[in-house]
Amino acid sequence: MRLRECARIARKNLSANKTRSLLSVLGLIIGIASSTVVAAISNGLRLAVLESLSSLGTNVLTIYPNVDPSRNRVGVIDLEGLARVSRLPFVEAAFPLLTFSAEARGDLGGVQVNAVGVLPRYLEVYRIPFVGGRSFVDQDVRLRSRVCLLNQDLARRLYGTSDPLGRLLRFGKSLYTVVGLVREPNVPLSLGRQVESLYIPLDTLRRQEEGLNTSNGGAEVWVRKDYAGDPKDDILSAISGDPSKKSAYLIVDPKALIDEAQKTSRKLELSMLALAGISLIVGGVGIMNVMLISVAERTREVGLRKAVGATPRDILTQFLIEVMALSAVGGCGGVVLGGAVVRLAPEFGAGDVPMAVMPSAVCCAVAFSVLVGVVFGLYPAYKAAALSPLEALRYD
Amino acid sequence: MSFLPADASAVMELRDVTKVFVAGDSRISALDRVSLRVERGQFVAILGRSGSGKSTLLSILGCLDSPTSGEVFLSGIKVSGMSESELARVRNRRIGFVFQNFQLLPYYDALANVEMPLLYADVVDAPARAARLLRKVGLGDRMRHLPSQLSGGQRQRAAIARALANDPQLLLADEPTGNLDTRTGQEVMGLFRELHASGSTIVLVTHDPQIAAAAQRVITLSDGAVVGDRGALGAGGSA
């Protein structure tokens, strides 16, 4: 019964004083809205990272020759060493990164492009989507066939609207046949990998463009995804052959990069959450202030209720329920506002910031609002409960 | 200090009740060793000028305030040492208040106002009982009206209905006609007489001797002491 009366009181009071209710809970709404946006951003980033990680078929490490400062010379990747690496049990493939820059000519003209030499499984590992034609097969590798894969955009520029499959393409000094079309993968974070526009089998490229017996960049090592250990030491030993020369090489592990990035983003998250927390406290103080005013204005009412039989606990409960209802509504409003900001962010140019609102975050936000309401409403409620009925009745 | 046992036939008994207010350096003695009994079924008026202590006496009778010294008994139960929560229960079940300025909640209609003591008593069919009470005081067709939509007399009648909600042993009224015109005041006094005739025990505080005359027994207060007690059945003392 009393709960019903408390609910009725809360409803009547909040709707009788809509403006004041809104103002009292405005700070909370803003606090919850900003917390929602922060949570959405950090959640979105986390999802993007996960997606990027899972978009890689295997764990791809890159080996770079270490720059020797004393000799001021860039080292080169020893191909024999690389062969040793490829024979390691957990390595799926190891090959030099070969890119060659030249003009590619098609029917409509020529464009300067970077062609990259790849193994047949490259497209699969990097999840590059096929649009037409076929990928490279082992035969292409064995025969060092002059075939190539084109990116859709490049195809449009070189051949216009006509089908490029089967057509000839001049790249550098040689002619290649276009056997397949690809497009860019849909990955939110490309992890530093540039998407090339022209793919040629690795051995073909090495043969065609002379003088490329050593890697002009680094080398790529594909480590089996299920390998749980740290492959870096073994790879370094294999490639240098001589343990003392291990420092001649540098390994870049994207997983490590991601871990680093996640650590940094977590720090950022925490500081953003702290700010959001501060704004919640400010919101709570706002609620407390307005409640103090409300209690003062309703002193006679409290006196009357006590005179007809409300115990101090009844009064405390009544005001706490009022403040809980108010902050629950405020919390929902804050979530709606935060959700709207997340929704509308792309319209205002913030579209590349990944954001995702989770239902659990919403429930957390509302629960937190109620908590803030109770904590900051406790003092005014207590003041009301402690009023002497006689003095309260005489209050002007 | 009296060694006589408390008498349950008296609805209200005060023994040597003193109430002192401390205001800064000065001590104001509002009530000075007042002893009295209100028997069941009596209609008592407490008459006095402002400053006579009548309001203080009423608040002690109504368990809204505790005496500085002395004892207060309600139907034989000692209330002068009770906690605030216990006193709240006593007020809820056994006492009904009628105030000079009605003290109705402005954002509740008449029905909700009358329901309030019932809800604090955890009564199950509060709306039905409240409706019956409003009909009893003649407001059956105005139950959904807000106080602002009622005349002064109607508001006081709604307040009386609220005071009767939990079937109290004692009805206390503080200048109930103070905010009403003469005619409406007489109507309200008529209602009090009706209630007395059907068995209610009523204590009414007033400064107006004419209003006091409507009661069966008149206790006159001056400077915190009883100076007259007329009309009590078998009671001694006269002005």
- Chain B residues within an 8 Å CB radius of A300: 103
Q: Are A282 and A230 members of one domain?
A: no
Q: What is the pLDDT of residue A296?
A: 93
Task: Indicate whether B13 pLDDT > 60.
Answer: yes
- Chain A residues within an 8 Å CB radius of B124: 1
Q: Which residue has the higher pLDDT, B221 or A117?
A: B221
d(CA A286, nearest CA chain B) in Å:
25
Distance between CA atoms of A10 and A6, rounded to whole angstroms? 6
Task: Indicate whether A99 pLDDT > 90.
Answer: no
Q: Are A185 and A128 members of one domain?
A: yes
Q: Which of B65, B103, B170 to mutate to test binding with chain A, by most A CBs within 10 Å of its CB?
A: B103
Q: What is the pLDDT of residue A76?
A: 61
Given pLDDT bands bounded at 50, 70 and 90, which one contains residue B239? Answer: very low
ipTM: 0.90
Q: Are A121 and A184 members of one domain?
A: yes
Question: Does the pTM of the predicted model rise above 0.90?
Answer: no
pLDDT tens-digit map of A165-183: 888 888 878 888 888 888 8
Q: Which residue has the higher pLDDT, A98 or A71?
A: A98
Average pLDDT over residues B174-196: 94
Q: Are A265 and A125 members of one domain?
A: no
For the domain made up of B10-230, the CATH class stated in words is alpha beta
Among A254, A274, A305, identify where a domain stops: A254
Please, are residues A136 and A201 in contact by the beta-carbon 8 Å criterion? Answer: yes
- Per-residue HEC secondary structure of chain A comes to CHHHHHHHHHHHHHHHCHHHHHHHHHHHHHHHHHHHHHHHHHHHHHHHHHHHHHHCCCEEEEEEECCECCCCECCCCCHHHHHHHHCCCCEEEEEECEEEEEEEECCCCEEEEEEEEECCCHHHHCCCCEEEECCCCHHHHHHCCCEEEEEHHHHHHHHCCCCCCCCEEEECCEEEEEEEEECCCCCCCCCCCCCCCEEEEHHHHHHHCCCCCCCCCCEEEEECCCCCCCCHHHHHHHHHCCHHHHHHEEEECHHHHHHHHHHHHHHHHHHHHHHHHHHHHHHHHHHHHHHHHHHHHCHHHHHHHHHCCCCHHHHHHHHHHHHHHHHHHHHHHHHHHHHHHHHHHHHHCCCCCCCCCCHHHHHHHHHHHHHHHHHHHHHHHHHHHCCCHHHHHHCC
Average pLDDT over residues B9-16: 85
Q: What is the pLDDT of residue A215?
A: 45
Given pLDDT bands bounded at 50, 70 and 90, which one contains residue A211? Answer: very low
- For residues A276-305, one letter each, b for 16 or more C-beta atoms within 10 angstroms of the residue's C-beta and e for the rest, the string is beebbeebbebbbebbeebbeebbbbbbbb
pLDDT tens-digit map of B139-168: 999 999 999 999 999 999 999 999 999 999
Which residues form the domain of A348? 2-53+259-394
Q: Which residue has the higher pLDDT, A1 or A341?
A: A341
A1/B117 CB distance under 8 A: no
Task: Indicate whether A359 pLDDT > 80.
Answer: no
What is the domain partition of chain B in residue ranges? 10-230
Q: What is the pLDDT of residue A277?
A: 83
Q: Which of A244-248, B25-29, B202-206 has the lowest mean pLDDT?
A: A244-248
Distance between CA atoms of A184 and A173, rounded to whole angstroms? 27
- Split into its structural domains, chain A has a count of 2
Q: Which of B59, B60, B101, B119 to mutate to test binding with chain A, by most A CBs within 10 Å of its CB?
A: B119
Given pLDDT bands bounded at 50, 70 and 90, which one contains residue A70? Answer: low
Q: How many residues does chain A have?
A: 396
Among A254, A274, A289, identify where a domain stops: A254
B99/A393 CB distance under 8 A: yes
Highest mean pLDDT among A26-35, A73-82, A217-226, B96-105: B96-105
Q: What is the pLDDT of residue B1?
A: 44
Given pLDDT bands bounded at 50, 70 and 90, which one contains residue A72? Answer: very low
Given pLDDT bands bounded at 50, 70 and 90, which one contains residue B234? Answer: very low
What residue of A is the nearest CA neighbor of B90? A309
Distance between CA atoms of A290 and A288, rounded to whole angstroms? 6
Which one of A2, A8, A312 has the shortest CB-CB distance to B84?
A312
- Chain B residues within an 8 Å CB radius of A318: none
Among A254, A286, A318, identify where a domain stops: A254
Q: Which of A21, A304, A308, A316 to mutate to test binding with chain B, by most B CBs within 10 Å of its CB?
A: A308
Q: Are A71 and A198 members of one domain?
A: yes
Task: Indicate whether A18 pLDDT > 90.
Answer: no
- Chain A residues within an 8 Å CB radius of B122: 1-2
Average pLDDT over residues B117-142: 93
A311/B85 CB distance under 8 A: yes
Q: How many CB pairs under 8 A join A and B?
A: 68
Which one of A301, A307, A314 has the shortest CB-CB distance to B105?
A301
Q: Are A236 and A277 members of one domain?
A: no
- Chain B residues within an 8 Å CB radius of A311: 84-85, 88-89
Q: Are A65 and A49 members of one domain?
A: no
Given pLDDT bands bounded at 50, 70 and 90, which one contains residue A275? Answer: confident
Q: Which of A30-39, B46-55, B147-156 has the lowest mean pLDDT?
A: A30-39
Q: What is the pLDDT of residue A68?
A: 58
Q: What is the pLDDT of residue B235?
A: 43
Q: Are A73 and A22 members of one domain?
A: no
Q: What is the pLDDT of residue A186?
A: 62
What does the block give as tokens for B148?
């602002």
Average pLDDT over residues B101-129: 92
Q: What is the pLDDT of residue A75?
A: 55
Task: Indicate whether B106 pLDDT > 70.
Answer: yes
Q: Which of A59-73, A360-374, B106-120, B202-216 has the lowest mean pLDDT?
A: A59-73
Distance between CA atoms of A361 and A192, rounded to whole angstroms? 31
Q: What is the pLDDT of residue A253?
A: 76
